[in-house]
Amino acid sequence: MEMTPRKDRMYRRNHLDKLDIAKDWLKRYTGSELSSFGNHILITNFKQYMNLFSETENVPILGLDSPMQVATSKDGITMINFGIGSPNAALIMDLLTAIMPKAVLFLGKCGSLKKNIKVGDLILPIAGIRGEGTSDDYADPKMPSLPSFRLQRAVSSTIINFNKDYYTGTVYSTNRRLWETDSEFKNYLTKLRATAIDMETATVFIVGFMNNIPRGALLLVSDEPMTPDGIKTSESDKKVSSHFVEQHVQIGIDSLRELKDSGESVKHLKFATDNSF
């Protein structure tokens, strides 16, 4: 039976909508008030990235007892450590609807799937391949997983300012963490001709798109898992962190600062969903 306007108002007063939940849960998961977040967001998987951001910007890390940690620079750039994996990537991109940021840039690590791409190289993805499964809960599996072009262009310019080069290409995102000994899966990756593999990029792109949040990614190659000697270990990751992570974080900060200072919108594509036949 159709509700009367009065009953509808009473229902909405007594039931949280999606935005209400996002606002409540963003505070719950980060231990931070919504007013403490900036409009330009860096998201990452690593405590070291948070520490570097905190030191570079001379600001405290909030939410140390919470599942996700947050730090915000004095000019309104926020970094969030959301954890590892596709479900957590989807969660943070959902929760950020509470503040609807102007840009979200994912700083993550990835494994190279190409012989010429080595540890320490940077990858600026032009698309994600949705092998993780999580994004299927948000959009048809055939929908492409794309970043916001203007955001990626800003990151490209910043990398060049650092006198660095980078690779582009597609990044395969998977929910599997221990796949390096699976020869059948490795053959599948070769056939896809993906540039790299990680666990979050495709999810960030799709959930960001579905939530109307401009999004991008800059990935640091941390291992070469297609070869036995290139599989990541705790020791090899420490070497990557000591040599390359500081610059990775700084490029991310400077990229968002360029966007923030320019005042340009990073939205560039509008899918005509409301003009369908």
Q: Parallel, antiparallel, or unpaired: how do β-strands 167-174 and 196-198 relate?
A: parallel
What's the pLDDT score for residue 231? Answer: 87
CA 154 to chain centre: 16
From residue 36, give the alpha-carbon distance in Å to each of 28, 99, 143, 196: 14, 10, 34, 34
| pLDDT tens track for 95-141 | 999 999 999 999 999 999 999 999 999 999 999 999 999 999 999 99
Using a cut of 0.95, tell me whether the model's pTM lies above it.
Answer: no
- Reported as a single tens digit per residue, the pLDDT across 3-20 is 555 555 544 555 578 999
Q: Which residues contact 45 (CB under 8 A, 6 or more apart)?
A: 81, 82, 83, 84, 108, 109, 200
Task: Give tens-digit pLDDT for 196-254.
Answer: 999 999 999 999 999 999 999 999 999 999 998 888 888 888 888 889 999 999 999 99
The pLDDT > 70 percentage for the chain reads 89
How far apart CA 173 and CA 158 sit, in angstroms, is 25
CATH architecture of 14-267: 3-Layer(aba) Sandwich (3.40)
> Which whole number is the average pLDDT over 81-103?
97
**pLDDT of 55 above 80:** yes
Q: What is the mean pLDDT of residues 144-152?
A: 95
User: Does the structure show a pLDDT above 60 at 1?
Assistant: no
For 153-206, the pLDDT digits (tens) are 999 999 999 999 999 999 999 999 899 999 999 999 999 999 999 999 999 999
Per the DSSP assignment, residues forming a β-bridge with 173 are 130, 198
Q: Say whether 77 sits in a helix, a strand or coil.
A: strand
Domain boundaries, the chain: 14-267
- pLDDT averaged over the chain? 91
pLDDT bin (cut points 50, 70, 90) of residue 274 is very low
Instruction: Please tell me the predicted confidence (pLDDT) of residue 9.
Output: 54
Per-residue model confidence (pLDDT) at position 265: 61
pLDDT of the residue at 228: 87
DSSP string spanning 179-235?
-TT-HHHHHHHHHHT-SEEESSHHHHHHHHHHTT--EEEEEEEEE-TTSGGGS--HH
Q: Residue 187: how many CB atoms within 10 A of its CB?
A: 10
Per-residue confidence at 91, pLDDT binned at 50, 70, 90? very high
Quote the radius of gyration of the chain (alpha carbons, Å). 19
